[in-house]
Amino acid sequence: MKLVGVAPDPAVKLHPGQQVIFRVKLVSTLVSAETGHISLVIQDNSGRNLKHGGPQSRMGVGRGTENLELHDEGVVSLDARWVDVFVPLFPEGASNSTAAEAVRFAVVR
Protein backbone atom coordinates (compact mmCIF):
# COMPACT_ATOMS: atom_id res chain seq x y z
CA MET A 1 0.00 0.00 0.00
CA LYS A 2 1.27 3.47 -0.83
CA LEU A 3 -0.13 6.94 -0.10
CA VAL A 4 -0.09 9.07 -3.24
CA GLY A 5 -2.00 12.10 -1.96
CA VAL A 6 -2.96 13.67 1.38
CA ALA A 7 -5.07 16.71 2.17
CA PRO A 8 -4.54 18.96 3.92
CA ASP A 9 -0.85 19.06 3.12
CA PRO A 10 1.07 17.55 6.08
CA ALA A 11 3.13 20.78 6.26
CA VAL A 12 -0.03 22.64 7.33
CA LYS A 13 -0.13 23.21 11.09
CA LEU A 14 -3.36 22.28 12.87
CA HIS A 15 -4.86 24.12 15.87
CA PRO A 16 -6.59 22.83 19.02
CA GLY A 17 -10.36 22.65 18.54
CA GLN A 18 -10.05 22.87 14.74
CA GLN A 19 -12.39 20.72 12.67
CA VAL A 20 -10.44 19.17 9.78
CA ILE A 21 -11.46 17.10 6.78
CA PHE A 22 -8.70 14.63 5.95
CA ARG A 23 -8.47 13.06 2.47
CA VAL A 24 -6.09 10.31 1.42
CA LYS A 25 -5.46 8.83 -1.99
CA LEU A 26 -3.62 5.54 -2.11
CA VAL A 27 -2.71 2.56 -4.20
CA SER A 28 -3.59 -0.69 -2.44
CA THR A 29 -2.39 -4.14 -3.44
CA LEU A 30 -4.05 -7.13 -1.80
CA VAL A 31 -2.52 -10.55 -2.46
CA SER A 32 -3.11 -12.52 0.76
CA ALA A 33 -6.93 -12.73 0.50
CA GLU A 34 -9.76 -12.32 -1.99
CA THR A 35 -11.21 -9.34 -0.13
CA GLY A 36 -10.44 -7.01 2.75
CA HIS A 37 -10.94 -3.42 3.83
CA ILE A 38 -9.00 -0.26 4.54
CA SER A 39 -9.87 2.22 7.27
CA LEU A 40 -9.07 5.87 7.89
CA VAL A 41 -7.97 6.28 11.51
CA ILE A 42 -7.54 9.81 12.92
CA GLN A 43 -6.00 10.06 16.39
CA ASP A 44 -3.96 12.40 18.55
CA ASN A 45 -0.64 11.86 20.35
CA SER A 46 -2.50 10.21 23.26
CA GLY A 47 -4.13 7.67 20.93
CA ARG A 48 -7.57 9.26 21.21
CA ASN A 49 -9.86 8.79 18.23
CA LEU A 50 -10.70 12.24 16.85
CA LYS A 51 -13.61 10.97 14.74
CA HIS A 52 -16.77 11.92 16.62
CA GLY A 53 -20.27 10.61 16.11
CA GLY A 54 -19.86 7.43 14.14
CA PRO A 55 -17.60 4.72 12.86
CA GLN A 56 -14.32 5.33 11.11
CA SER A 57 -14.45 5.65 7.37
CA ARG A 58 -13.73 2.32 5.66
CA MET A 59 -13.82 0.84 2.19
CA GLY A 60 -13.83 -2.70 0.86
CA VAL A 61 -10.98 -3.85 -1.38
CA GLY A 62 -10.51 -6.86 -3.62
CA ARG A 63 -7.55 -8.95 -4.67
CA GLY A 64 -5.16 -7.06 -6.90
CA THR A 65 -4.18 -3.40 -7.15
CA GLU A 66 -6.68 -0.55 -6.76
CA ASN A 67 -6.57 3.25 -6.65
CA LEU A 68 -8.63 4.37 -3.66
CA GLU A 69 -9.69 7.55 -1.90
CA LEU A 70 -11.01 7.94 1.64
CA HIS A 71 -12.03 11.03 3.57
CA ASP A 72 -13.29 11.76 7.04
CA GLU A 73 -13.26 14.58 9.55
CA GLY A 74 -12.11 15.01 13.09
CA VAL A 75 -11.75 17.72 15.71
CA VAL A 76 -8.24 18.36 17.04
CA SER A 77 -8.10 17.71 20.81
CA LEU A 78 -7.52 20.81 22.92
CA ASP A 79 -4.33 19.34 24.42
CA ALA A 80 -3.04 17.57 21.28
CA ARG A 81 0.59 17.97 20.26
CA TRP A 82 0.12 16.15 16.95
CA VAL A 83 -2.47 14.27 14.91
CA ASP A 84 -1.74 10.99 13.14
CA VAL A 85 -3.77 9.77 10.18
CA PHE A 86 -3.39 6.01 9.63
CA VAL A 87 -4.67 3.91 6.74
CA PRO A 88 -4.44 0.22 7.70
CA LEU A 89 -5.27 -2.67 5.35
CA PHE A 90 -7.11 -5.67 6.82
CA PRO A 91 -7.37 -8.81 4.64
CA GLU A 92 -10.59 -10.78 5.15
CA GLY A 93 -10.33 -12.97 8.24
CA ALA A 94 -7.30 -11.14 9.69
CA SER A 95 -7.54 -9.57 13.13
CA ASN A 96 -4.48 -7.39 12.54
CA SER A 97 -3.50 -5.08 9.73
CA THR A 98 -1.00 -6.48 7.23
CA ALA A 99 0.02 -3.05 5.90
CA ALA A 100 -0.43 0.55 6.95
CA GLU A 101 0.53 4.05 5.90
CA ALA A 102 0.58 7.06 8.23
CA VAL A 103 0.95 10.83 8.12
CA ARG A 104 1.63 13.11 11.09
CA PHE A 105 0.34 16.67 11.41
CA ALA A 106 1.83 19.12 13.94
CA VAL A 107 -0.52 21.01 16.24
CA VAL A 108 0.37 24.58 17.22
CA ARG A 109 -1.14 26.82 19.87
- Distances from the Cα of 61 to the Cα of 27, 44, 56, angstroms: 11, 27, 16
pLDDT for the residue 63: 96
| Overall domain count for the chain | 1
Name the pTM for this structure.
0.91
Residues 1/101, Cβ–Cβ less than 8 Å:
yes
Q: State the amino acid at position 5 in one-letter form.
A: G
Distant-in-sequence, close-in-space partners of 5: CB < 8 Å, separation ≥ 6? 23, 24, 25, 26, 69
pLDDT in tens, 48-106: 999 977 788 999 999 999 999 999 999 999 999 999 999 999 999 988 898 899 999 99
Distance between CA atoms of 88 and 96, rounded to whole angstroms?
9
Q: In terms of Cα–Cα distance, which of 19, 24, 18, 46 is closest to 101?
A: 24
Dihedrals phi, psi of 53, to nearest 5 degrees: 75, 40
**Could you tell me the CATH number of the domain that includes residue 38?**
2.60.40.10
pLDDT in tens, 10-56: 999 999 999 999 999 999 999 999 999 999 999 999 999 999 777 88
What range does the domain containing 12 cover? 2-106
pLDDT for the residue 104: 97
